[in-house]
Amino acid sequence: MSHKKLAMFDPALLKPAIVDSFRKLNPAVQWRNPVMFVVYVGSILTTALWAQALAGQGEAPAGFILAIALWLWFTVLFANFAEALAEGRSKAQAASLRGLKKETLAKKIKGANATDTWVTVPATDLRKGDVFIVHSSETIPADGEVIVGVASVDESAITGESAPVIREAGGDFSAVTGGTRVLSDWLVVRVTVNPGETFVDRMIAMVENAKRQKTPNEIALTILLVALTIVFLGVTVTLLPYSMFGVSVAKAGTPISITVLIALLVCLIPTTIAGLLSAIGVAGMSRMMQANVIATSGRAVEAAGDVDVLLLDKTGTITLGNRQATNFLHAAGVKEAALADAAQLSSLADETPEGRSIVVLAKDKFNLRGRDVRELGAHFVHFTAQTRMSGVDLDGREIRKGAAEAVRAYVAERGGHFPPEVEMIVEQVAKRGSTPLVVAESAGGGARVLGVVELKDVVKGGIKERFAELRRMGIKTVMITGDNRLTAASIAAEAGVDDFLAEATPEAKLKLIREYQAEGRLVAMTGDGTNDAPALAQADVAVAMNTGTQAAKEAGNMVDLDSNPTKLIEVVETGKQMLMTRGSLTTFSIANDVAKYFAIIPAAFVTTYPQLAALNVMGLASPASAILSAVIFNALIIMFLIPLALKGVKYQPRGAAALLRRNLAVYGLGGLIAPFIGIKLIDMLIAVAGLA
């Protein structure tokens, strides 16, 4: 799916978010956030008190009560706006997904194979188990598995990648998605889902339902915030009788007003984090979507942030996945340049990544450029599963390259022998975790071995540094490969992973995940094949490749639309960013509240206890100005923090202890200082304007 990156305050999102902010004033909606519901009730009460003051029965000046009431309503609206803006970003993504759902027709096959006739039916009439045929330039009408044929498919509508992909029957690249388009040839597909259950349908549901799902950590934090609110509510309620008692005993002063008590309560309870909590969760899901990863729930995103073991497939994740020629190892009596020349000649018609890399290596080392030898009557011999060799016949020479056993048999048939030193080279290359490709030539009735081309599955650049970052975060990396232990150990050492699982089978993967989980660790892994499904179902964070089988996608709790196995690292970083954002803003909110106490508590009770004026450390203009300034700051800080909640705290690969120290230094200390500066500035503006 081609996701355009949404701007932080996209004009197309602002107007609907403002409208939704007012719609969310519905009590049934407000009740879902208990902390903000207290502010909502306080807004209603102060509005009623203002109406009473207008009738001449006010406990405080009507203008003061109105100002408090308005800013309490703004506090609720700003919190609503933060949530609505985050939801608006998700709705925009869902709308782009809906654009993929078009009314299409399907060629439903009546019989059991592709040669039978078909009938044209609406795509919505297809059911699980039905079979349809789709030809070049036609849109695939439903999700399914290819059972006959091979074709080039344009999946840019889903993945955003313009390069077409090959889909064919059998293997791990047989899954097709409704809404994609066949570019060449034809496919016979068996439908794997019913209408409303397609991949696009599930993506839309995941995005739209993101705002209604709470993660375990979010629920726990909400319980904590509610508990704090209940405590402060109890404290605030008891302050009125204490104030009345103090005035009656001292025979001086005036009791605290209900308006001031409501303002005090709102400033005491953790409104900042409560107002942004939902937005943080929805924004986390949105960031995952922008990375082209679909998460089934916020729980999966959060689990990614808590992961401490990563299981990574070797091929395509740690290594490039395509073996590259890295060295020419010549036999005795043969020059390395002669071996390189023969290897290049035998690879000129070889379009595989291995063949192209041999041509490039010969050019780089010996300046041997590709030649058009067809003009010289060259006959290319292509690789087959039977011969396990490829090569070229040119000027009476037969040049072959292939597996050691195949070349040994080829040389023996022509009266040659396989040199012991080449046998030793083959063994050494295999021990290094590389693949030996033996080159031989036959001419004039004899055959000889020229040497070995070393093919290596090259470790991706920068991957070792990424693993070092993960290690600093306390995450263990485990490489999974079907290679033997010797090869696996060599690649694991070069890549810098912490551990490896060699000769991996589905049972071995499942056993390894369960062992880590038994130790209380959270495990993440990627997979694309049916044989990966059991392990994906067991893993805490399971990222299935979009190009993989239906079984893999159903077993995972995330789907990577780009089918990039290294995306797992990005998924973990996004999950950790969401947790860091929530933790940072919680720290800031609590520190904020501590600072606000110094502004509002002395001002609230100075009419009852004049001695509290000594605690006016900020030198605020008047008690009324101090209270109003604290309420205004309490509302505005939510607006100022919305960009941070949506964008997320910048991810840094550090351990938990280092992150905690940074959190306390930046957001704890910042949360303490900001209210002193903010409230003082607001107080000065109020004093200059003569509003209090």
Q: Could you give the residue numbers annotated as active site?
A: 313
**Rounded alpha-carbon distances, angstroms, from residue 663 to 128, 249, 581, 673:** 51, 46, 10, 14
62, 54 contact by CB (below 8 A): yes
247, 611 contact by CB (below 8 A): no
Angle between helices 199-209 and 62-98 (to 10 degrees): 170
Alpha helices for 55-104 (secondary structure H): 62-98
CA atoms of 185 and 168, how far apart (whole Å): 11
Q: Which helix (H) or strand (E) holds 595?
A: helix 567-605
Please list, in sequence order, all residues whose beta carbon lies within 8 angstroms of the beta carbon of residue 336, skipping any fewer than 6 positions away: 328, 330, 365, 366, 451
Structure tokens at 185: 């040839």
Instruction: List the strands of the sheet with 435-443, edge to edge.
Output: 319-330, 446-459, 435-443, 397-402, 389-394, 379-381
In a 10 Å sphere around its CB, with 0-12 CB exposed, 13-18 middle and 19+ buried, how is residue 414 labelled? Answer: middle
State the CB neighbour count (10 A cutoff) for residue 606: 20
Query: Helix, strand, coil proportions of the chain in percent (round to 5)?
Result: 55, 15, 30
* Distance in angstroms between the alpha carbons of the first and the last residue of the chain: 55
CA atoms of 201 and 194, how far apart (whole Å): 11
State the CB neighbour count (10 A cutoff) for residue 103: 8
> Residue with structure tokens 């939801």?
87
